[in-house]
Amino acid sequence: MHIPDGYLSPSTCAVLYAGAAAGWYSALKRLQRMLLARVIPLISVFAAFSFVIMMFNLPLPGGTTGHALGVAIAAIVLGPSGAILALSLAIAIQALFFGDGGISTLGANCFNMAIVGSLAAYGVYRMIAARAALASKRRVVAAAVAGYLAVSASALLAAIEFGIQPMLFHDASGTPLYAPYRLSVAIPAMMIGHLTFAGLAEAAISAGVLAYLQVADPVLLRGTSGCEASCESIELQPASHALRQLWIAIAALMLLTPLGILAAGTAWGEWAPAQLAHAAAQAPSATSPAQAAPAGLQRLANLWTAPFPAYAPGFVKSRSFGYLLSAMFGIGVLLCFSLSAQYLLRRRRRKGTPV
Amino acid sequence: MPVLFELRDVCFAYDGVPALRGLSLDIARGERVALLGANGSGKSTLLRILDGLYPPAQGSVSFDGVTLTAERLQDDGFSLPFRRRVALVFQNPDVQLFNPTVWDEVAFAPLQLQWAKEEVVARVTDTLELLGISHLRERAPYRLSGGEKKRVALASVIVLDPEVLLLDEPTATLDPRSQSQVINLIQEWKGSAKTVISATHQLEIVEDIADRIFVLEEGGVAASGSTAEVLGNHELLLRANLVHAHRHSHGAVTHSHPHVHSHAKHEHES
Amino acid sequence: MRRGFLESTTMGFARAITRVMLSERTARQRGLLQSLDPRVRVVGLFALLLAATVSRRLSVIAAVLAVAIALAVFSRVSLFGLAKRVWLVVLAFTGVIALPAIFVTPGHPVAHLGNATITEQGLRAAALLVLRVETAVTFSTLLVLCTPWSHVLKALRALGLPREAISMLAMTYRYVFLLVETATQMLDSRRSRTVGVLPPAEQRRMAARTAGVLLSKSLATGNDVYLAMQSRGFQGEVQVLSTFSLTLWDYIALLLFLLAASVAMWMGR
C-alpha cells in the first residue's frame, strides 16, 4: 500500500505531510525523554527488519501493492513512538532509494502505515493482551489481531485517500487528475487484497515472531506488557502527553475534512441560509440507489454534498459520499469526546488520590 | 611499572546469567597482556568493563587511579578524554562499521570527540595510509572483505592514538595473510609505551602479541604469569579448555596426549 | 505459491543489492548532475518532481520528463538502463492499475470495446497518472544514481533534517544490507534443506521462525553497535563533517532548476 507520486493531489499530500509531521514530532519528543541515543540502534534495527518484510510485494488491481509491514511486532517491542519512527524510516528509505512509494506522498505513506498503523497495532495489542503472562497464548492471539487490524486500517486510509481524488481534483471536463478511481471502486479494490492476503500475512508474522520471542528473548516483550512492577521499558506508561496530542491532532484532522472539502466546492461564507435550506431539501442525485437512512443523517449527507458546483460528476453528490463524510466527522467527534472524557477522569483521579 | 588498570572482585551478569565472578587483576602501563580463555569464559565482558561500557555490578574498576563509575562516564569532562585514551576493537567488525564510507568510519571517533576539522582530515588521511587502506576511502565498509573490514575497524580506533588498545579476538576469522598483518601491527607498538590487552582463544598468536597472560575460566582468573610460563603449563591449558587432548588406548591402558599448536616452537609431547 | 514467494523475494533482495552497486558506479562518472553540489541536486530534482506532481496538463508533464531525460543523458546515465529498470517497470505496474480507468471514468465516449465504452476523460486520466509516476520516479532514480548515499544524507542534514533522523537513516540503511544478506543466507539454507513443498501452514511457521531468528540476531547486533558507538565517544548527537561548498556553477544550476520548476508549475496550473 505504498502510494507512489502522482496518485494524490498536492493539497492531499500537504495535509498528510502535516499529519505525519505531527506524528514524528510527538514520537521524537516522547523518546527524547528517555535516552534517545540508546534507542537509536534499536529503532534502526526494526526499521531494517520492517523494510525487509515490506519487500514481499503483491500487486493489487485498482490499488497499489499488498504486503505485510512488521508494524505490529515493532509496536509490541518498541512501543508506539519507537514503531512510528522505525516504520517511517523504512518507508523513507524505500522511497528515497528504491523508488517504492513516492516522495511527495512520503507523508501520506508514513501517516497511513507508520503512524495510524503503529497506534492501531499498539492499542489493539494492549487491549487484548491486558495483563496476561508474558508467555501466554493470549498474547500471541493479541499480536495476530493487532497486526491484522493495523494493516486493514492502513489500507482503508490509503483507499479513502485514493478514492476521494477523482471527486475533488478534476479538470473542467471532468477528467480525474490524480488517482482515477472513486471510493466505490478504490475501497473494495484495496480492502479485498489486504483483508485477505496482506492482513493475514501481517497476522502470521506478528504472531510467529512474538511466539518466538516469548521463548528466545522475553525481555523484549516486557516493555509493553502492562506490568508496572520491574519494567525496564522504552516507553514509561501507556497514554502520555505527547501521544494524546497526536490523537487530538488526528481528531482535528477528521473534524476538518468536511470543511476542507466544502471549501473546495464553494467559497466559505458565501452560503445564504436559503441555499442551506435548499440543500437540505434537495433530493439525492439519480446515480445513487434509494436507501433508507435516518432523516438526520440524510440531511447531514446532503448538506456536505450540496454545495459542489454543478459540473461535478454525479457520484460526488451521491449519498454514499455524504455518508462517508458524516462518518469521518462522527469519528472525529467520538475521538474528541473520548479524549476529553479521559482527561476529565484523569483529573478526577489525580485529585482524589492521596499523596 | 605504574598500574594502569586495577580490578577488584568484579562481578557482572547479563540478565541474571553471570559472566564475571569476583575477578581481580592488575595491568601495568606499557604491558602487552593476553586474556586467554575459551568462549564463554568472560573475556569479551571483561574487555567491555575495561572500556567503561558496563559498570560492574559488584567490585571496582579503576583506570589510572580513578574509579570508573556510571556517573563519571556520563560526565563529558571525564569521558571524552577517557574515550580517547582507551579504545576497543570488537570481535565482529560489522558491529563497528556503520558509517556510509570508510573515510566517514575512521573520522567518526575524532568528530565525536570534537576535534578541529583540519586535524580530523589530517589524522584520518595518515591513519588510512598507515593501515594501507587509502584506496578504500570512498567505499562502503560493509562491502569489504574480512581482512579489509578488520583493518578499517582498527583504523577507526587507532586514529585517536589511544594509550590503551583493547582487542577482542583480533585475528579470529581472518585468512593467514590478514592475520599476520594484524599481528605485525600489534608488534610495531612494542616500543611505544602502548598498553595492549588482547582477548583470544588462539594460542598460536599469543606469543607474538603478549608478554603476560591471564587465563580466564568461568568468569574468574584461573592463573596468570609470563607467556612462557603459562604456555608451558599444559594441565592448566587443558583445564581451561584451550587445548585438546588426543586419547588412544592400548587394551586397558589409555594414553592422553595434550596437543598444542604453535608457530614458533613445535611441541609434541608423548 | 509460497515457494515462488521465497524465490521472488530472494530475487528482490538481489535486485536491491545490484542497484546499490550500479548507483556507486554511476555516481563516480563525470557528468552534469555529478558535478553539482549534492544539496543543489537534492533541491533541484525535488523541485522538478514537485512541478510534475502539481501540473494538470499532459504537455507540461511531458516537457518535465524531457528535461529529466536530458539530465540523464548529460550525466552519463544509460537511457537503456533507465528504460529497463524504471520506465518499463512503472508502465507495467501503473499501467495495470490505470487501465480500467479508461473504461470506468464517466465522460465523452471515444471508442467502444465490446460492451465497454472508452471515454476521453478516462484516457486522459490514465495518461496523466502514468506520465506523472514515470516522471517522478525518473527524478528520484536520477538523484540516487548520481549521488552516493552518504552525500544524500549529508545534503538532507544540511537542508535541515534533525541529526537523530540522519543517524537513524544511516544506521537503518546499513542494517538493511546486513539483514538482507543474513536473510538471503537463511532462505538459501532453508531451501536446500527442504525436500519437496511443505504444506502452507508449515511454510508459514517456518517463515515466522526465520523472521524471529533474524530479528534476534539483528537486535543483538544492534546493542553491540550502540556499545561500539559509545566506545568511540558517541554521547547522543552524531557530529557529521560537511565538506560541501557552493561554486558559481552551483548557484546558476540551482537558479535554472527553480526557474524550470516554476515555469512548469505556472504553465501546468
Q: Are B79 and C24 in contact (CB < 8 Å)?
A: no
Query: Residue B56, SS3?
Result: coil
Distance from CA of A298 to the nearest CA of C (A): 26
Q: State residue C2's pLDDT score.
A: 38
Counting Cβ atoms within 10 Å, is residue C195 exposed (0-12), middle (13-18) or buried (19+)? exposed
Chain B: residue whose CA lies nearest to C149: B100
Whether residue A205 is found in the same domain as residue A302: no
B90 contacts: CB under 8 Å, gap ≥ 6? B96, B153, B168, C224, C227, C228
Between the CA of residue A36 and those of A28, B67, C134, C223, what are the distances in Å?
A: 8, 27, 39, 13
Distance from CA of C249 to the nearest CA of B (A): 24
Between A11 and A196, the more confident residue is: A11
Whether residue A230 is found in the same domain as residue A312: no
Instruction: Judge whether A65 lies within some domain.
Output: yes
Write down which residue in A208, A236, A264 finishes a domain.
A236
Instruction: Judge whether A241 lies within some domain.
Output: no
Whether residue A90 is found in the same domain as residue A121: yes
Interface of A with C in 25-64 (CB under 8 A): 28, 35-38, 40-45, 47-49, 51-53, 55-57, 59, 61-64
C191 contacts: CB under 8 Å, gap ≥ 6? C6
DSSP secondary structure letter of residue C85: I
Q: State residue A112's pLDDT score.
A: 93
Residue with cell 493539497: A11
Write down which residue in A236, A266, A294 finishes a domain.
A236
Q: Say if CB A157 and CB A331 are below 8 A apart.
A: no
**Chain A residues whose beta carbon lies within 8 Å of the beta carbon of residue C179:** 48-49, 51-52
Between the CA of residue A8 and those of A53, A102, C27, what are the distances in Å?
A: 25, 10, 31
Instruction: Judge whether A231 lies within some domain.
Output: yes
Question: If you average pLDDT over residues C37-61, what whole number do you get?
Answer: 88
Between the CA of residue A142 and those of A136, A201, A217, A223, what are the distances in Å?
A: 10, 15, 18, 15
Whether residue A156 is found in the same domain as residue A64: yes
Q: Are A5 and C235 in contact (CB < 8 Å)?
A: no
Give the separation between CA A194 and CA A200, rounded to whole angstroms: 8
Q: Is C234 on the interface with B (CB under 8 A)?
A: yes
Q: Are C232 and B112 in contact (CB < 8 Å)?
A: yes
Give the separation between CA C82 and CA B84, rounded to whole angstroms: 48
- For helices C38-54 and A10-33, what crossing angle results, to 10°? 130
Distance from CA of B95 to the nearest CA of C (A): 5
Give the separation between CA B208 and CA B183, rounded to whole angstroms: 7
**Chain C residues whose beta carbon lies within 8 Å of the beta carbon of residue A96:** 140, 144, 152
Number of H helices, E strands in chain C: 10, 2
**Chain B residues whose beta carbon lies within 8 Å of the beta carbon of residue C232:** 83, 87, 108-109, 112, 156-157, 160
Q: Say if CB A313 and CB A167 are below 8 A apart.
A: yes
Whether residue A290 is found in the same domain as residue A228: no
Nearest to C228 among B90, B104, B114 (CB): B90
C222 contacts: CB under 8 Å, gap ≥ 6? A41, A42, A44, A45, C175
Between A348 and B98, the more confident residue is: B98
**Chain C residues whose beta carbon lies within 8 Å of the beta carbon of residue B101:** 148, 150
Q: What would the pLDDT profile of C188-205 be if each residue is shown by its tens digit?
A: 777 677 666 666 666 666
**Chain A residues whose beta carbon lies within 8 Å of the beta carbon of residue C133:** 4-7, 102
Between A10 and C209, the more confident residue is: A10
Q: Are A205 and C211 in contact (CB < 8 Å)?
A: yes
Question: If you average pLDDT over residues B18-39, what whole number do you get?
Answer: 87
Listed residue (C167, C184, C87) closest to C131, CA to CA: C87
Given the candidates 3.30.1360.230, 3.90.1150.10, 3.40.640.10, 3.40.50.300, the CATH classification of the domain at B3-259 is: 3.40.50.300
Q: Say if CB C86 and CB C137 are below 8 A apart.
A: yes
Q: State residue A132's pLDDT score.
A: 78
B-to-C residue pairs, Cβ atoms closer than 8 angstroms: 78
**Chain B residues whose beta carbon lies within 8 Å of the beta carbon of residue C225:** 95-96, 98
Whether residue A115 is found in the same domain as residue A183: yes
Confidence of residue B186 (pLDDT cuts 50, 70, 90): confident
Q: State residue B50's pLDDT score.
A: 93
Instruction: Judge whether A124 lies within some domain.
Output: yes
Give the separation between CA B155 and CA B127, rounded to whole angstroms: 6
Whether residue A260 is found in the same domain as residue A163: no
Q: Report ipTM (2 d.p.).
A: 0.81
Chain A: residue whose CA lies nearest to C14: A55
Domain count, chain A: 2
Instruction: Judge whether A248 lies within some domain.
Output: no
Between C35 and A98, the more confident residue is: C35
Distance from CA of C241 to the nearest CA of B (A): 8
Distance from CA of C174 to the nearest CA of A (A): 8
Confidence of residue A106 (pLDDT cuts 50, 70, 90): very high
Whether residue A91 is found in the same domain as residue A196: yes
B75 contacts: CB under 8 Å, gap ≥ 6? none
Write down which residue in A236, A270, A295 finishes a domain.
A236
Mutation for testing the C interface, residue in A12, A42, A44 having most C CBs under 10 Å: A44
Distance from CA of C251 to the nearest CA of A (A): 24
Q: Is C235 on the interface with B (CB under 8 A)?
A: yes
Q: Are B157 and C232 in contact (CB < 8 Å)?
A: yes
Q: Are C168 and A59 in contact (CB < 8 Å)?
A: no
Q: State residue A121's pLDDT score.
A: 92
Whether residue A100 is found in the same domain as residue A213: yes
Q: Are B98 and C174 in contact (CB < 8 Å)?
A: yes
Query: Residue C120, SS3?
Result: helix
Average pLDDT value for chain B? 83
Q: What would the pLDDT profile of C126-157 be if each residue is shown by its tens digit?
A: 888 889 988 988 898 888 888 877 788 878 88
Give the separation between CA C139 and CA C127, rounded to whole angstroms: 18
Give residue B150's identity as a one-letter amino acid code. K
**Chain A residues whose beta carbon lies within 8 Å of the beta carbon of residue C93:** 59
Mutation for testing the C interface, residue in B47, B79, B86, B95 having most C CBs under 10 Å: B95
Chain B: residue whose CA lies nearest to C223: B95
Whether residue A167 is found in the same domain as residue A28: yes
Listed residue (C64, C46, C32, C12) closest to C187, CA to CA: C12
The helix (H) or strand (E) run that includes residue C111 is strand C109-113
The verdict on pTM exceeding 0.80 is no
Q: Are B138 and C170 in contact (CB < 8 Å)?
A: no
Residue with cell 438526520: A296
Instruction: Judge whether A242 lies within some domain.
Output: no
Give residue C22's identity as a one-letter amino acid code. L
Whether residue A273 is found in the same domain as residue A220: no
DSSP secondary structure letter of residue B244: E
Q: State residue B125's pLDDT score.
A: 93
Distance from CA of C196 to the nearest CA of A (A): 22
Give the separation between CA C129 and CA A176, rounded to whole angstroms: 9
Listed residue (B85, B126, B92) closest to B106, CA to CA: B126
Whether residue A107 is found in the same domain as residue A139: yes
Residue A104 belongs to a domain with what CATH number? 1.10.1760.20
Give the domain extent around A133. 10-236
Task: Look at residue A58 and tell me whether its pLDDT is greater than 50.
Answer: no
Average pLDDT value for chain A? 71
Nearest to C171 among A7, A44, A204 (CB): A44
Give the separation between CA C163 and CA C199, rounded to whole angstroms: 48
Q: Are B100 and C228 in contact (CB < 8 Å)?
A: no
Q: Is A238 on the interface with C (CB under 8 A)?
A: no
Listed residue (A13, A102, A163) closest to C104, CA to CA: A163
Q: What would the pLDDT profile of A166-224 be if each residue is shown by its tens digit?
A: 888 877 777 788 888 888 888 888 888 778 778 888 888 888 888 888 887 787 787 77
